[in-house]
Structure formats: structure tokens, C-alpha cells
Structure 1
């Protein structure tokens, strides 16, 4: 890396760091070399943590969390992240692009394939959480190796280096941290948007004991646009920047255990794990970047599998094909539940009805309820086409 890239001075082929800002620039360059699209810095004592804890409690009071009962826990750690990792002073927030194919700008095209199972784009390959934490650990080790070069800067490099990587694995305000650290702004759908990269990226954090200056947040650029609110199939975005998670298709198909309310089933369409609609319609995603990490590449044709093909997976096949995959999170029976709903929403077909009936009275009363609903939906479609 050229010395002038990080605003420091090269002496005898070694780097001499003049300020803590130079250290930050070096770390950002290392993060990008490890596959992260960008990174930002935020103090563990930033006032946002108290503010966000209060907002979370207000959100929970409205009952928007559904079965996400863990959101009621660990408010003390959310408000005081320095207690989560003793000795931590700074949080490095990173983002990683995950698209493997550029979608059509401002168009939700998934509904053009009603007999295909649609899986959220982040979940078609390897579980990103492991990838994220592994690369954050590599970043930490690179930082640790440089500590002797920074001892003159009074940033804590003369002390034992403490670090811990996270990716959706602790009570951390992940998106607000990234927002405050300048990785983007919070869109009306409550996801982070980056002006140069849209929103198809995942986030991670590295807590560490070095004390570095905060990065500044960026200006928001949603303006008067309400495309994400208007497109949401279940109207889960109840107001700008406010999401009723219990109505969100991503929550319903991934986190919700048991019966999905019939009022949401038609709106779910053929989405069997997650939903990308609010991102696909967002005008900023015309700038979305493709992944630089191979782990996001779709496995087992999960970007183009038919619903009937997935419906016929036995549990052993499900376990094998979802090894190291986010799909494992939903569980086999809930996965079948999601597919049953999608089959009910597929084009009318006697073949679909036949396949649906093969799983009746085998797994659970919960699944049977969704199968029975799907059969009725299919029968109604076929009857509507009869002369």
C-alpha cells in the first residue's frame, strides 16, 4: 500500500504513523483487502446507545416484536456496550456486499415465477455470520501485529490488545452503529442504505481496546420516496422508519414458529425464506455492488428451485443441503410450512394438490393446517377455470 494512501510517511520502507487518523485509514484498507466493502469507527461510549435503548423499549411497547422475546432482554448491555467486552474502547463497524447477480432496477420480479421458491438473496449461499466473524478475527490479528508501530500515539496500543468479533450474535445495535459510523443512513424500511452501494449488504462489528476517533454519520437521502412502504406485501412498514416485525415476511418465514396467520398467507406469495421486496424497489439499489466473497454464491440451485422440488425434500436431505446455510435456522417443519403456503399461491395445478396430500397427517397438526389451506386455494383456482 502506498504511504500517501494513508497520509503517513514512509521511512526506510516502513510506515510511520503520524496520527490516530492514519491508523484508521490503515485499518480501513486492511478491511477492504479482507473482503469488507467499507468500515467505520465508533466509541463504545457514544450517546446513541442510551437513545436507541429508549427507542427499542418504545417499539416493544407497541408489540411489534412477535416471538422475538430476546429483544426484551439485556437492555443494560445494549445501552452500555463497554460492559459486553471488558476493556473495549472502539467498535469497528463493517459491511459486506452479498449480491451475486444484479437485479432489475426498481422492479420486484420474483412474482413472475409463482412456481419457484424465492429465498432472500443473502441466504442462498453459506451462512454469512461465520464468514463475517472469521474475517473480523483476521482483521483483529492484523491490527494486533501493528501495535508496536503505534505506541507513540497514545491510543492504547502499549497495553494488552482486547478484541471480539460479532455478527448478529449479541445484544448490539448493529444498524444504528453502522449508521452513526458513516456506513450509510437508515432508510424508511429500517435497513441501512449506502449512496454508492444501495442496501444489499450485511453488517458486522469488531470490538477492540484501541481508542480511535469516531467517524461522522452521513446525510440521509430518502427524501419524499415511499417506494419501500408502498411495495411491502404485508404492509409491515407501518410508518417511515417503523417496522412491525410480526407482520414482516422475513420474520414470518424465518423467526416465527408455528401457525402463520391466514391473513398473511396470500401476501407471502412464493417467498419461502425471507423477502427482498423493499430493497428491490429502492432506487438506491441501482448502485448495488456484487459480492467479492465467494461464500454468497447460491448452493443447491437455491436461486432457481421449483416449489415441488423443495417440497419433496426429506428431512435428511434438508439437513444435508442446509449444512452451513442460513436456511437451517427455520427448521424442517417450518420450512415445509412456508413451501405449503407458496404452493397454495402457485398456479392452479392438480399435480400440486396431489403432492400436498402426500404429507398430510405425517408431521404435525400445524403443518396439516397449512397444507389444507393450500389445497383449498388450489382447488378454488382450478374451479375458477372450469367452464
Structure 2
């Protein structure tokens, strides 16, 4: 049965397949509880909800006897770090420059699960990042790789560019051994993080992570992080891209996971002009769409403010009357970085007086103070 599942997985284009047991990570409950107690999950309340099921696969589904962990590579065609120098363009995380992996990977897992169910007369449940499943610890227990110091799974065969999925099954399959940790003394992923999101090796404080801030965080991004975000408008690949194990990575063979050329480094000026309909059309079928237009434009305007390109000030100014206070507030911040004091004071008199949102009013006061201090 195990050999048949492996052969079928390879036929479906899955790069890695290993098996573990539901009780293979006995320390998971304690580790998860400590992480949540420290508040490192930020606003991700869904990490707290059903935490007991995350910590114990048998609690999620009592019928599980084996966990088949699967991985697909999405290794980018070019080095994501090269995008950071393109200040008037946006940097989108490599996984989000392509079709939403949930659709691609889940389809393959459903087909594999159906094959396993029919061949072995067993029950299966398929998960791709949409249920309380701790994919990375389970993948490490199954031997797909190990969780690196940046907490992401690293494979000796594919580096850390992996998409993970799980099949819970009632079949008793032969389990694999966990992979040893091969990070050694390397700490490149920790040192490159712009926002110091790793309080210690193997620990991530999501509240400081640019991926969390630009994707999961719903409100204004704290001023202390805005300069550090640079031109990253959706996610961050820094700690992934620097990993030396990526020298073994190969470009994704799955055609549907090929990067879209128009998402490699889109001009910030174009993105700042997107209304909701245009946003949905441009990012249809990609992970970017789920964040929503307002949060995405928040990120774009922060990148505009960091660009140093005064020609982009007009794009920020056009957003001052946007229906979303989140967009208006970041437009104000961007103008404070690009426009001179006279322009900011003129815009303050035109827009700030009638502003009803407290956060946007605070951004106006901060922008006026900022240009006043820089002019002095």
C-alpha cells in the first residue's frame, strides 16, 4: 500500500511524499501553547481557535492512523532579493506570483486520497492549509525535511521552497523516520530579517514579520515597521531566499505553478490606481486576492513612501479621497515622505480638516510634524 501511494504521488507530480503517525510530535501541544501564550500569533485568532486539534491530529479526527505528508516545490526562477532594489516597483512573495497553490495542491491530494481510499478500502481526509493542521512539524516528523531556524521546512533535495499538504487516513502505513536538523551554526535567515522577527532561533514572532504585517494584519501598520518594509507589498522572502540549502532547489515542474510575468515586479504607479474591480481582475486566481484591495493598497502606498521617487507623490495624492480610511492614512504617510512641506501643508488644509477617521487624522498630524522637522 505504501509503495502504491508513493508511485501514485509521483505520477501526480508531487515532489515529496513521506508518512508519519498522528502521535509523532508529542511536544507539539506544549510548543504551540507557549507560542500562543507569548502572543506571537498576533491577530491570527484562528490559531487559538481549535488549538487542541492543531496540537493533536487524533483530536481533529479520531479515525486517523497515519498521516501522509506531501510537498511540491515552487522554487522561483530568479532571486527574490533582487526585487528589493527596484524601488518604484513592488516585490511580491514568490509563492503569490503564481496560481493559488491551494487549488493546485488540493486537487492533487484529493486525487491521491481517492486512490488510497479505493485501493485500500480506507477512509481519508485531505488538508491544504485550510484546517487546524500543523503541517510543518508533521512534515518534519515524516522526514520531508526539518524546520529551520526561520521555522520553515527545509529539504535537502528542494531547499525551503515547498508547499505542504496532508492526508489523514485510517490506513496503517509504514512510517518514515524524521530528518535530522542540518542548519548547523548557520544563522543567515535570522540575520537578514529586516524587522528582527526571530526572538531566538526556531522562534518566530509573527507580529514583527513582514509577511504577517502585509497579509494577515488588518489595520494600519505600525510606523516602526514601515521604513523596514521597503517595497515588499505582499509577503517577504528574505529569510527563505538566503538559505544555502536552496542550491539544490529546481524550478517547479508543475506548469500551473509558473510565475506570472506581470507579478514579478509590477509598477507601484499602476497598483496605486486599482479600484476593487480592477484589483480582483488583476489578481484573480492568486493568493494576493484574498487580502483584499484596501489592505493591498495600504502596502503599495507604504512602498511608494519608501521609494524616494517624488514622481509617485501624485499617485499617493490621488488616494487621499479614497473610500477606505486604511488607504487614506497610508497615502498621507507616503506624501509625508515624498512631498515638500508646502505641499503637505496645502493638502492638510484641503483634506485633513474634514477627515472623520481618527487614525487618518493622526497620520495627517504626524506627516505635518515630519515635514516640519525635516525642513528645519
- TM class, shorter-chain normalised? 0.7 to 0.9
Counting matched residue pairs gives: 346
* Matched-pair contact (CA < 8 Å) for 2:198–2:205: yes
Alpha carbons 1:300, 1:321 under 8 Å: kept: no
Q: 1:270 aligns with which of 213, 226, 231?
A: 231
Q: Which position in structure 2 is the counterpart of 1:60?
A: 36
How do 1:171-182 and structure 2 match up within 5 A? Answer: 171-182=132-143
Equivalence for 1:368: 328
- How far does the alpha carbon of each residue in 1:16-62 deviate from its partner, in whole angstroms, 9 at most, with x for none? xxxxxxx3233222212211111110112x241x4112111111111
Give the structure with the higher percent helix: 2
Within a 5 Å distance, the mapping from 1:1-387 to structure 2 comes to: 23-44=1-22, 46-48=23-25, 50-103=26-79, 108-145=81-118, 147=119, 157=120, 160-299=121-260, 301-349=262-310, 351-379=311-339
How far the C-alpha of 1:102 sits from its partner, in A, is: 4.3
Alpha-carbon separation, structure 2, partners of 1:367 and 1:314: 11
Which sections of structure 2, spanning at least 5 residues, go unmatched? 344-370
Helix, strand or coil for the counterpart of 1:202? strand
Aligned CA-pair RMSD: 2.1
Change (3 A) 1:47 1:218: closer
Q: Distance in 1 between matches of 2:257 and 2:89?
A: 20
User: d(CA) in 2 for partners of 1:59 and 1:100?
Assistant: 30
Q: Residues 144, 347 of structure 1: CA spacing in aligned structure 2 closer, same or farther, 3 A cutoff?
A: same
Residue 304 of structure 1, CA deviation = 2.5
Q: How big is each residue's C-alpha offset from its partner over 1:351-382, in whole Å with a ceiling of 9 and x where there is no partner? A: 21111101112222232221111111123699
Shift of 1:75: 2.4
SS in 2 for 1:168: coil
Q: Is the 8 A contact 1:102 1:290 kept in 2?
A: no
What is the SS of the residue equivalent to 2:199?
Answer: strand
Higher mean Cα deviation, 132-141 or 252-261?
Answer: 132-141
Aligned partners of 1:126, 1:270: CA distance in 2, in Å? 22
| SS at structure 2 position matched to 1:243 | coil
My pick for the range that moved more, 255-264 or 95-104, is 95-104
Name the CA distance, whole Å, in 1 between partners of 2:195 and 2:258.
29
Unaligned 5+ segments in structure 1 are 1-22, 148-156
2:124–2:170 CA contact under 8 A, matched in 1? yes
Deviation (angstroms), 1:114 = 1.1
**3-state SS, counterpart of residue 258 of structure 1:** coil
TM-score by length of 2: 0.87
Shift of 1:197: 1.1
User: Secondary structure at the residue paired with 2:164?
Assistant: strand
Shift of 1:209: 1.6
> 2:161 and 2:323 mapped to 1: Cα distance?
36
Answer 1 or 2: higher relative contact order, Cα 8 Å, separation at least 6.
Answer: 1
* Preserved contact between residue 294 and residue 327 of structure 2 (Cα < 8 Å): yes
Q: TM-score, length-normalised on structure 1? A: 0.85
1:245-272 C-alpha deviation (Å, 9 max, x unpaired): 0110000000000110010001100010
Runs of 4+ in structure 1 displaced over 4 angstroms?
380-383
Q: Cα–Cα, structure 1 residues 334 and 31, in superposed 2: closer, same or farther, change >3 Å?
A: same
Q: Is the 8 A contact 1:102 1:288 kept in 2?
A: no
